[in-house]
Amino acid sequence: MTAQSQEVTDGFHLVIDALKFNGIDTIFGLPGIPITDLTRKAQAAGMRVISFRHEQNAGNAAAIAGFMTQKPGICLTVSAPGFLNGLTALSNATTNCFPMILISGSSEREIVDLQQGDYEEMDQLAIAKPLCKAAFRVLHAEDIGVGIARAIRAAVSGRPGGVYLDLPAKLFAQTMDAEAGKKSLIKVVDPAPRQIPARDAVQRALELLKNATRPLIVLGKGAAYAQADADIRALVEKTGIPYLPMSMAKGLLPDTHAQSAAAARSYVLPEADVVMLVGARLNWLLSHGKGKTWGGKDPKDWGGQKFIQIDISPQEMDSNVRIDAPLVGDIGSCVSALLAGIGSNWAKPSAEWLGAIAERKNKNLVKMAETLARDPSPMNFHSALNVVRDIIKANPDAILVNEGANALDFTRSIVDMYKPRKRLDVGTWGIMGIGMGYCVAAAVVSGQPVIAIEGDSAFGFSGMEVETICRYNLPVCVVVFNNNGVYGGADVNPTGGPDVAPTVFVKGARYDKLMEAFGGVGVHASTTAELRKAMEAAVRSKKPTLINAVIDETAGTESGRITSLNPQSAKKK
């Protein structure tokens, strides 16, 4: 028998110790029974505890912290309603392959399981399971170390995702010998092991690429997550193949790079004969790899391209169309294996292919420059974003958070990014509500200035967190593109009744006052000169700022760029 030490520890301390032992130093959460003391003790133990006004925003913060750092972001909530509020973020994290752990306190198991009506009674584990990558519950203090270790591994290994960890109230007060407690903790060794691609799979991919006449590389946010920036850039540059960045892969190579085909997207997708996907899935954002976007005759037709797909999950292959050369492994290992196989005498794509792309690209860029140079009153998306484009160019380390419909689509296409992982947006689902949670985490994790371009509807989903931004004095500049509603404010109620149309908000709303209410800087900007001055001041001062940018309420389109996804009624009136 080993000698028992005099000291005891308990569930609270073991959770904190287990997280710290694994290098986790920040918790995003919202206190209440049974985790209030956990937040206090975590802060006392030197962790950064960032308290939010709604759990969904804390969850989104945790998720994007995971994306930025490759460490699981922690979201801590109370039971049932707090847990449910965090669940959207957990599910969104899983969909986007962001590593996060939602830790929720829960009510007494024996009462919950007999459904006897406990305070905030809910079988949280069962509800979380189908919505995340893995879900665990810890019942005994001596299992906390294992529980946290399993949660970390599940979140970051293989394809990253959201993990749920259920901690019943009773667990926190359970005591055990301090020495035994210490020994029960696990420091996770190599939490995201490299997954080396098979040699023949690398050869197959190289052969296909070598024999292509019109090759194209598509970089997804998985490539951004991988933090293999130098190798990815070397692969693109050594092969000379034109590339398209998906939204959150913008900046992996600077958007101004000569090989970027972003301004000729509608030309390269149908024309390419071999497409190499790097951490990008063939989901709706790439029209499932088929149909008219890819040169197919009708919406389900294959365009004839051959695909090489680099992904950590073998199940991703053939999910939408045939993958001729699946390359399964972590992106860093796959890209370095390709680089090694390319050697020094790789034949770059033909001048014909590159010239045809350059011609389209330049034509579109000239057209865009003309549109951006106009300065109408009121501002439209282009004139306002011309300012944002300049501000980001002058501050390439700033992080750009972006949500909305038109406010999203126009920003993505107009604002160039210059560095990796600087653009954080609505991701795979096109979800509204990530805005302020992402801003808080981006500022906390990076210490860099954060600029958020927010549709007025999008902003409303997390707007109360401007108090959080002020409370922690974060260098966040929120620009609300205020066009009086969802997609715009020009709709009318066809009945002539007193209610406005469902997409319309209070006209001329002053979102800047919201920021002033908590001591931040609020600016009302109705011209590009005012917008520019306010954004420059915000970046310089690093003070929490909200700029209410007045945008022409008729400037947007229904659903931005994805109007076609709206079902059409067959019945007219």
Ligand X SMILES: Cc1ncc(C[n+]2csc(CCOP(=O)(O)OP(=O)(O)O)c2C)c(N)n1
Secondary structure element (H or E) that encloses residue 215, with its range: strand 215-219
> Strand 73-77 relative to strand 134-137: parallel, antiparallel, unpaired?
unpaired
Among Mg ion, ligand X, none, partner that 74 touches (CB below 5 to 8 angstroms by kind): none
Q: Which position has the token pair 């709604």? A: 54
Q: Which amino acid is at 430?
A: G
- Residue 304 or 376 with smaller CB distance to Mg ion: 376
Rounded least distance, CB 439 to ligand X, Å: 15
Rounded least distance, CB 86 to ligand X, Å: 15
Q: Is 483 in the site for Mg ion (CB under 5 A)?
A: yes
Q: Which of these ranges, 230-238, 285-293, 298-306, 451-459, lies near Mg ion under the rule CB under 5 A?
A: 451-459
The helix-helix angle for 229-239 and 331-342 (nearest 10°) equals 30
Nearest residue (beta carbon) to ligand X: 455
Q: Which of these ranges, 310-318, 365-373, 424-432, 475-483, lies near Mg ion under the rule CB under 5 A?
A: 475-483
Per-residue buried b or exposed e for 499-519, using 16+ beta carbons within 10 Å of the residue's own CB: ebeeebbeeebebbebbeebe
Rounded least distance, CB 557 to Mg ion, Å: 11
Cα end-to-end distance, the chain, whole Å: 82
CA 142 to chain centroid: 35
Q: Which position has the token pair 């011609």? A: 359
Among Mg ion, ligand X, none, partner that 69 touches (CB below 5 to 8 angstroms by kind): none
Binding-site residue total for ligand X (CB under 6 A)?
Answer: 19
- Residue 289 or 404 with smaller CB distance to ligand X: 404
Q: What is the dihedral of CA 209, 214, 215, 219, to 10 degrees?
A: -170
Site for ligand X in 100-159 (CB under 6 A): none
Q: Which of these ranges, 201-209, 364-372, 445-453, 478-486, lies near Mg ion under the rule CB under 5 A?
A: 478-486
Q: Is 456 in the site for Mg ion (CB under 5 A)?
A: yes
Among Mg ion, ligand X, none, partner that 254 touches (CB below 5 to 8 angstroms by kind): none
- Residue 82 or 560 with smaller CB distance to ligand X: 560
Query: Which residue from 414, 420, 196, 208 is spatially nearest to 307, judged by alpha carbons?
Result: 208
Binding-residue pattern over the window 435 to 464 for ligand X, x denoting contact by CB under 6 A:
--------------------xxxx------
> In the 8-state DSSP scheme, what is residue 463?
G
Binding residue for Mg ion, selected from 191, 303, 455, 560, defined by CB under 5 A: 455
Site for ligand X in 356-415 (CB under 6 A): 404-407
What share of residues in the chain are helix, strand, coil (percent, to 5)? 45, 15, 40
398, 539 contact by CB (below 8 A)? yes
Rounded least distance, CB 94 to ligand X, Å: 16
Among Mg ion, ligand X, none, partner that 560 touches (CB below 5 to 8 angstroms by kind): ligand X
Query: Which residue from 486, 485, 484, 504 is spatially nearest to 494, judged by alpha carbons?
Result: 504
Site for ligand X in 470-499 (CB under 6 A): 481, 483, 486-488
Rounded least distance, CB 481 to ligand X, Å: 5
Among Mg ion, ligand X, none, partner that 77 touches (CB below 5 to 8 angstroms by kind): none
One DSSP character per residue, 348-415 reads PPPHHHHHHHHHHHHHHHHHHHHHHH---SSB-HHHHHHHHHHHHHH-TTSEEEEESSHHHHHHHHHS
- Residue 11 or 455 with smaller CB distance to Mg ion: 455
Residues that bind Mg ion (CB under 5 A): 455-457, 483
